[in-house]
């Protein structure tokens, strides 16, 4: 898994690879600065291949932080397989998904 954070008017978090049990803690560490100074955030999922339950917890935590700080969080370019995971777990209704 690789995480790239680009700061500008909005923060873009690019995630590639697998957000699984092994990588979820690293993802949490890398996005910690984003959650501290939360503003509008886009999570670019174009290269995200897989999300495990531990990865979903990290994404849910990010969503909760955005809600607390009244920031907008968008998941962009979610592949059909990842969207199916979001749908099956009920996360699709909690997340703002964009093409």
Output the six-digit token pair for 40: 């509008």
The per-residue pLDDT for 32 is: 93
pLDDT at 30 over 90: yes
Q: How many domains does the chain have?
A: 1
The per-residue pLDDT for 44 is: 98
Question: Hey, how many other C-beta atoms are within 10 angstroms of the C-beta on 98?
Answer: 11
Is this structure's pTM higher than 0.85?
A: yes
How wide is the angle at C-alpha 50 spanned by C-alphas 45 and 54, nearest 5°?
100
Pick 83 or 99 by higher pLDDT: 83
pLDDT at 68 over 90: yes
Domain that holds residue 62: 2-98
Average pLDDT, the chain: 95
CATH number of the domain where residue 69 is located: 3.30.750.24
């Amino acid at each position: 898994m690789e995480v790239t954070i680009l700061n500008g008017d909005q923060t873009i978090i690019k995630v590639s690879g697998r957000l699984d049990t092994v990588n979820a803690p690293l993802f949490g560490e890398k996005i910690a600065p984003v959650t501290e100074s939360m503003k509008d955030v886009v999570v670019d999922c174009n290269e995200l291949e897989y999300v495990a339950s531990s990865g979903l917890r990290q994404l849910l935590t990010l969503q909760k932080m955005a809600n607390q700080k009244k920031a907008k969080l968008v998941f962009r370019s979610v592949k059909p397989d990842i969207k199916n995971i979001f749908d099956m777990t009920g996360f699709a209704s909690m997340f703002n998904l964009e093409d």
